[in-house]
Amino acid sequence: MPVATRRERLQCEPVCARVLTPEQFCLLPPLIAEPYRTQVWIAGCLGLRPSEIMPLQWGDFDFENRTLLIQRSIVHGREGEVKTEYSRDHVPLDAAPVEILLGHRERWFSTPEGWVFANPATGRPYHQNSIQQDHLREAGKKAGLGDGIGWKTFRHSYRSWMDDTDAPLGVQKELMRHASIQTTMNIYGKAMSDSKRDANSNVVKMILKPKQSGAAEVQSDQIAATRS
């Protein structure tokens, strides 16, 4: 098995460790072009892995019941199964990200496969690494957050935000869809779907309704942009 070079480790470590506040997170989307902006909102509001965001299809969404089925992944252009058996699951959708997604669907072009984030040049999902390098990190620097912003930043932040809302540990494990969920469920039991939805909605409210007035104004501009 190849050993990562020192440069590769240095590139990964700050991205893996970074956690943002909701106010810091809200600085990023206005600095990112579409469709990457919508991808960032989904990463922040749902805590999905980038390999799960890129291959999303519209058929995965049940907008009437506000749920999303995570059932595939894509890495370096190769589509496959999700990371673990626990990763394949339904996650709740708050009304705010549903509105953002529906706005994206109206603006973006469609494909026969129903890809949510298809590259116009190829008709296939985008590559997550190039988005991180060219858009996420650049937005982080422009926002004054440094050079360590990446996809894992959003997933780690989502977990931290759940802690801030006092979401039960069992609910957190289900929303994160970790492989260790089995151990958690042996202690806490199967989390009810209403509990999962409430925990997710509390995180979304932290993101889309930040406490600081300045960040709130940024979010208001972003929502208006999705409707235009």
Lowest-confidence region among 102-111, 166-175, 180-189: 180-189
Which residue matches tokens 């509001």? 45
Q: How far apart are CA 16 and CA 40, in angstroms?
A: 16
Q: Spell out the CATH class of 20-223.
A: mainly alpha
- Cis, bond preceding 92 (omega within 30 deg of 0): no
User: Residues 105, 178, 133, 80: is their CA dihedral positive or negative?
Assistant: negative
- pLDDT of 196 reads 80
pLDDT range class, residue 129, cuts 50, 70, 90:
very high
pLDDT tens, residue by residue, 144-175: 999 999 999 999 899 889 888 888 888 888 88
Per-residue model confidence (pLDDT) at position 88: 85
151 within 8 A of 132, measured Cβ to Cβ: yes
Domain locations along the chain? 20-223
- Spell out the residues 6+ positions from residue 174 whose beta carbon is closer than 8 angstroms to its own: 89, 181, 191, 196
pTM of the model: 0.77
